[in-house]
Structure 1
Amino acid sequence: MSTGPVSLRPAGHPPVQKPRIGVLLMNLGTPEGTDYWNMRRYLKEFLSDPRVIEVPKAVWWPVLNGIVLTFRPSKSGHAYKTIWNEERNESPLKTVTRAQAEGVARALEERYGAEIVVDWAMRYGHPAVAPAIQRMKDQGCDRILLFPLYPQYSATTTATANDQAFRKLMKMRWQPAVRTVPAYSDEPGYIDALARSVTRHLEGLDWTPDLVLASFHGLPKLYLDRGDPYHCFCVKTARLLRERLGWPEERLRHSFQSRFGKAEWLKPYTDKTVEELARSGVKKIAIIAPGFSADCVETLEEIQGQVRDAFMAAGGEKFTYIPCLNDHPDHIAFLTGMVERELAGWIGAARKAAVAAE
């Protein structure tokens, strides 16, 4: 008469974790504080990445260490200080990314129990990617899905986030199997969530914008010339959003922000565009940032501060910023759906493996 499951492992065999699946949400990064040295550490890691700065090291290194890291930390620190989450003592990007991971984790736990482990990390700064992958491995994850939270693919974002995960994997004796989530610039669920966010926001105003501007993070034009597809994905997102809203072409336009240095970047530039709009008679505008999955210094300080000021100074009268999707239920549902789609074939296999390991 059977008294229960019989272990097939020999006596003295070390404990074996039940196989699980890991999901790692990855965003760009954040400094740990707004002071000079925290900002300097963050900027040095970020601006030392050859995926971000495609300039020969012999040329860029003296500029970075001799000029940029001398003066930029104080300026960037001031910008971060204006939007800092004082309650948690962290940047809004960290606050929102954590909330996104927690939201996706709750949704997956409701459907799959403890089979899936959800964690989050930053490409630059903390929490770092490598420790997150190790935590998943320690919890029995023999399959990991990497999810860079960048709707529009670029080598400077999606690729470098995955690179960082692969660097950790290269050092692991027992690697988990890995998949990566593709960029989602034209996913219907993403476009629908953006459209609903626009509609909700505009319905809450007591005025109607003459125009909505979709502002994406900029990129040096040279990167486009070398084959980076980011520009095309941004333009497509803006077009699909406009079509989903049922608007004519003149009601929603696109632009690019956050340029750095003297080189030509993707055009039209957001700051120049809002100035030209104001001078041409457009007095009321709304701006949305569809390239950001979470609000951050580029949206909360740059758009709501610098860009707004540029528009008003040029003769604008009404300005509003439409927040990122952040951890809104629409966004959590979309992210969860993307995870489930990309885990196809893994979820059931992990469950069977867990049973067999008992």
Structure 2
Amino acid sequence: MSPTFRDAPVHAGPGHTAVLLVNLGTPDEATPAAVRRYLGEFLHDHRVVELSRWLWCPILHGVILPLRSGKVARNYASIWTPEGSPLLAYSKKLAAAMQHALPDLPVRLAMRYGNPSVPSVLRALEAEGMTRLLVLPLYPQYSASTSASVLDAVAQEIATWRRVPDLRFVADYHDDAGWLDAVEARIRAHWDLHGRGDRLLFSFHGLPQRFERAGDPYPRQCEAGARALAARLGLADGEWLLTYQSRFGREKWLEPATDKTLEQLAREGVKTVDVVCPGFAVDCLETLEEIAVQNAEIFRHAGGGELRYIGALNHEPGHVAALAALARRHLQGWPH
């Protein structure tokens, strides 16, 4: 059977270039039903869970979603704001600031899972006459489970179009000088206000170890970025550590784990730990609740003192400038 293509609107003129920012996503509400819908979409992604659907779907729908949705909803409720989910609220502010920094281009925001969805935002851009597209996932470090999944979603949508746009894709920016400048400035600003802790932890989202064995560059990029930042901050070995958070399931994940490292530091007599999460472009459940609340409690209960979470870059001017400059470099050669 021949494929069916959705006819695109016919536009006169040279067409338009657009920038699409994509973040992970969030539930629409902090309720078990909304969380279940969100987690169902997220955990159905083959890039996220690389198991046979025959094996995985019964586990997901029969065990994980019924048991976890209520607990995760309570965690979301604890950080929910009048503007909604922090991830969506901060991502919108970042996109608005990016639009101000790139006034000659439409800048749009989509979520890989949840709303606004990648297909809906792409269709709106298509209706506006977009014929050239730069996709900028808000993941500084590349992983097949994040950056590649964004490309999957974009490709799946435009595969149905009659006229496919010119396409460029930013795979990662973990070593971008402007981004490193922004993270360094964020840490120094925290130290100027609160002083330096006994240790600085760079906590990144974890991955199953088999992803690395399969060739995923994510851990190497995390290490390269952390080392570059430590060098910029003048930290000696032993004054900083790299850890991985957000383990899920029983298989082996990247190590050392953030929570286990904090317990060990507490046993060693460390009283004050600063934690920064350079893998998260904006603050979200994994930073505001998992790190700033759960892991702070783990550290205290193990005998430590204060865990000071250093907030994400969000829509700070240095972050906006870095991403705008990154976009302009990748747009070179295209007429605007």
> TM-score over 0.5 for the alignment?
yes
1:119 counterpart SS class: strand
Of 127, 140, 145, 2:134 maps to: 145
Residue correspondence of structure 1 range 79-158 to structure 2 within 5 A: 79-85=75-81, 87-88=82-83, 90-109=84-103, 112=104, 116-158=105-147
Given the alignment of the two structures, is residue 273 of structure 1 paired with residue 269 of structure 2, yes or no?
A: no
Ranges in structure 2 where 5+ consecutive residues have no aligned partner? 1-9
Q: Distance in 1 between matches of 2:207 and 2:333?
A: 37
CA contact (8 A) 2:91 2:109 kept: yes
1:34 counterpart SS class: coil
Given the alignment of the two structures, is residue 172 of structure 1 paired with residue 161 of structure 2, yes or no?
A: yes
Residue correspondence of structure 1 range 16-31 to structure 2 within 5 A: 16=12, 19-31=15-27
CA contact (8 A) 2:11 2:129 kept: no
Give the aligned partner of residue 336 of structure 1.
Answer: 324
Given the alignment of the two structures, is residue 251 of structure 1 paired with residue 245 of structure 2, yes or no?
A: no
**Deviations for 1:97-146, whole angstroms, at most 9, x for unmatched residues?**
1111111111111xx3xxx1110000000000011111111112110100
Q: How far 1:17 moved relative to its partner?
A: 5.8
Q: How far 1:15 moved relative to its partner?
A: 6.3
Q: Distance in 2 between matches of 1:93 and 1:297?
A: 8
Q: How far 1:208 moved relative to its partner?
A: 3.0
Given the alignment of the two structures, is residue 41 of structure 1 paired with residue 30 of structure 2, yes or no?
A: no
2:106 counterpart SS class: strand
CA contact (8 A) 1:289 1:324 kept: yes
Q: Distance in 2 between matches of 1:208 and 1:182?
A: 33
- Indicate the percent of aligned positions where both proteins have the same amino acid: 41
**Deviations for 1:18-74, whole angstroms, at most 9, x for unmatched residues?**
622110000001000111111110000000001000111111111101000111110
Give the aligned partner of residue 74 of structure 2.
Answer: 78
CA contact (8 A) 1:255 1:268 kept: yes
Give the aligned partner of residue 200 of structure 1.
Answer: 189
Q: How far 1:214 moved relative to its partner?
A: 0.4
Give the TM-score normalised by the residue count of structure 2: 0.95
Give the aligned partner of residue 307 of structure 1.
Answer: 295
CA contact (8 A) 2:272 2:305 kept: yes
Q: Distance in 2 between matches of 1:17 and 1:101?
A: 27
Q: Distance in 2 between matches of 1:41 and 1:66?
A: 14
1:249 counterpart SS class: coil
Give the TM-score normalised by the residue count of structure 1: 0.89
1:155 counterpart SS class: coil
Q: CA RMSD in A?
A: 1.1
**Deviations for 1:218-260, whole angstroms, at most 9, x for unmatched residues?**
0011111111111111111110100111111211111000000
Q: Distance in 2 between matches of 1:128 and 1:16?
A: 27
CA contact (8 A) 1:325 1:331 kept: yes
Q: How far 1:339 moved relative to its partner?
A: 0.6
Q: Between Structure 1 and Structure 2, whose CA radius of gyration is higher?
A: 1
Q: Distance in 1 between matches of 2:306 and 2:29?
A: 33
Ranges in structure 1 where 5+ consecutive residues have no aligned partner? 1-13, 351-358
CA contact (8 A) 1:84 1:92 kept: yes
Q: Give the partner amino acid of 1:318.
A: E
Q: Distance in 2 between matches of 1:17 and 1:304?
A: 51
Of 217, 220, 225, 1:232 maps to: 220
Q: Distance in 2 between matches of 1:196 and 1:137?
A: 38
Moved more, 36-45 or 15-24: 15-24
CA contact (8 A) 1:217 1:258 kept: yes
Q: Distance in 1 between matches of 2:316 and 2:307?
A: 23
Give the aligned partner of residue 9 of structure 1.
Answer: none
Give the aligned partner of residue 206 of structure 2.
Answer: 218
Equivalences, count: 327
